[in-house]
Structure 1
Amino acid sequence: MTLQSQPQIAGSAEGMVLKLARPISFWGGVDPTTGRISDPRHPDHNSEIAGRILVLPGMIGSSSSSYIMLELMAIRRAPAALVLAVPDAILGLGVVVAREMDYGSIPVVVLPGDQQAALTTGQRARISDDGGIEILR
């Protein structure tokens, strides 16, 4: 099965899906030294986002989230890709700055929430440069 997302930042990635149960703020919600969800109130508390295809139903805004993404990319603890329900310039900014600083880059794509339903935690998925999200068996 392949879903078609809209790339915000093109790129390819493959990994295990981690689909968050609720929106999150990276500032205060993700530990920038471990790549784990640190907010004890979040249902996915302590889940590791590093190397995952991170599916986000929404973001709880803080402009500092871009800094957390940059830090995660600098220490290689960032997700393999971000799949957002709605466009988010803040996380994307962290990815763009990381790319400019030679920390690498990850794809950031938009896939509406109703289509995100096809993705579940534990699946393996591949994202292509054109935004195709292939669910691997």
Structure 2
Amino acid sequence: MAVTVPVRMLVDRAASGELLLLSEGLSFWGGLDPASGEIIDRQHPQHGAKVTGKVLVLPSPRGSTAAPGALLECLCEHSGPAAIVLATCDPTAIAAVLAAQMIEHPAIPVAQLLDPADLQVLTGIAYANVGQGLLTEIQPGWSSLS
């Protein structure tokens, strides 16, 4: 049976993709290569993983006020995630996505888990769709545009 978790849509869009659940927060500024979408923070447990086109799940925000600029650059380079799901609200992710939209780049969904304990439910999910207030486990190849 597919897992479904309620979320609060902070940027109300829909997207689907491979789910990348980070075990620690990620600083977009200095922790993510905007050109490749690769996690370059050598101290991060998922160092070397790529966020490009993925449903990126972050347990906590990390970083500085420069984070929106770094995420914006990543989105403009088309190396950013398909969606961002936060366990706790992070205005830097929202700011970057809205700024990208203002300069005519597609906005991606940004959502917040209603219950941060749902991070445990997401372990083991390979692909997910985010939209309409839900994060839903899907099969590979399924599209939110279908």
Please give the range of the TM-score, normalised by the shorter of the 2 chains: over 0.9
What whole-Å deviation, never above 9, does each CA across 1:12-53 have from its counterpart, x for those lacking one? Answer: 000000000111211111111110100001000010001000
Q: Structure 1 residue 113: deviation in Å?
A: 2.4
1:118 partner amino acid: V
Amino-acid identity (%): 32
Rounded Cα–Cα distance in structure 2 between residues aligned with 1:120 and 1:71: 29
TM-score (norm 1): 0.94
Q: Structure 1 residue 136: deviation in Å?
A: 1.5
1:119 partner amino acid: L
What whole-Å deviation, never above 9, does each CA across 1:74-116 have from its counterpart, x for those lacking one? Answer: 1111100000011111111010000010111100000132012
- Counterpart position of 2:137: 135
2:32 partner amino acid: V
- Counterpart position of 2:144: none
Q: Structure 1 residue 61: deviation in Å?
A: 2.7
- Counterpart position of 2:48: 46
Change (3 A) 1:36 1:122: farther
Is residue 83 of structure 1 aligned with residue 98 of structure 2? no
Rounded Cα–Cα distance in structure 2 between residues aligned with 1:122 and 1:115: 12
Task: Verify the 8 A CA contact 1:19 1:121 in the aligned structure 2.
Answer: no
SS in 1 for 2:70: helix
- Counterpart position of 1:61: 63
TM-score (norm 2): 0.89
- After the TM superposition, which parts of structure 1 deviate over 4 Å for at least 4 consecutive aligned residues? none
SS in 2 for 1:54: strand
- Counterpart position of 2:19: 17
Once the two structures are overlaid, the 10-residue window that deviates more, 106-115 or 44-53, is 106-115
Runs of at least 5 residues in structure 1 that lack an aligned partner in the other structure: none
1:124 to 122, 127, 132: 127
Task: Verify the 8 A CA contact 1:18 1:120 in the aligned structure 2.
Answer: no
Report the RMSD for the aligned CA atoms in angstroms: 1.2
Rounded Cα–Cα distance in structure 2 between residues aligned with 1:106 and 1:48: 17
Runs of at least 5 residues in structure 2 that lack an aligned partner in the other structure: 140-146
Rounded Cα–Cα distance in structure 2 between residues aligned with 1:78 and 1:121: 22
